[in-house]
Amino acid sequence: MDSRALYTRAFATAAAVVMASTISFVAPAGADHADHESCRSYAQVPNPFVKIEAEDGKFDTNCLKAPADRGWRIYLMNHDEDPHNISIYSSDPAVDKKAEQIYKGKPVKSRHQEEYAIEGLPPGKYFFQDDKVKGMNGAIEVADKKKK
């Protein structure tokens, strides 16, 4: 094989890898979209993660799926001028005064990204929100591994 054919093959392989990895980030759910069938699922890799973007005072999804009883990560990219964070609660604190804060993410400055390491959660439904902009929120579904 000549060097031109090798470069062409390497480029095609790299392009396919990039496109495949991008698919896990491009979920169509918007912050005002309540259809939980389009819930953003975690990437099924050795270290599971989801990516969320904050822009125009809202998150780009209002529903996440997380693995049961297993550590995972949230990557929050902030495109807004104001800082944003993600905290996880046992339920919606605006509705349930007994809601417990399970995780508090540090604020992410404008045009920056932060990685939040979340310890494994038992199966159930949880709530996430920006602690300063309460309207930026959503649900986290942690499915039981045994149920399909």
Task: Please give the chain's pLDDT, 148 residues, in tens.
Answer: 565 555 455 544 444 433 434 333 333 333 343 444 479 999 888 899 999 999 999 999 999 999 999 999 999 999 999 999 999 999 999 999 999 999 999 999 999 999 999 999 999 999 999 999 999 999 999 988 765 5
| 147 falls within a domain | no
Per DSSP (E only), the strands in 5-119 are: 49-55, 58-59, 63-66, 72-78, 87-89, 101-104, 112-118
Asked if 136 and 57 touch (Cβ cutoff 8 Å), the reply is yes
In this structure, the number of other CB atoms found within 10 A of the CB of residue 62 comes to 23
| 55 falls within a domain | yes
| 74 falls within a domain | yes
Give the HSE-up count for residue 10: Cα atoms under 13 Å, Cβ half-sphere.
Answer: 7
Among residues 62, 71, 72, 69, which one has the least CA distance to residue 123? 69
| 60 falls within a domain | yes
| 118 falls within a domain | yes
| 79 falls within a domain | yes
pLDDT score of 14: 44
pLDDT score of 132: 95
Q: What is the pTM of this model?
A: 0.73
20 φψ region: left (φ > 0), alpha (ψ -120 to 50), beta (else): alpha
pLDDT score of 34: 43
CATH of the domain at 72: 2.60.40.420
Instruction: For residue 100, give its domain range.
Output: 3-142
| 113 falls within a domain | yes
- Number of separate domains in the chain: 1
User: For residues 79 and 116, what is the distance between their CA atoms, to the nearest angstrom?
Assistant: 17
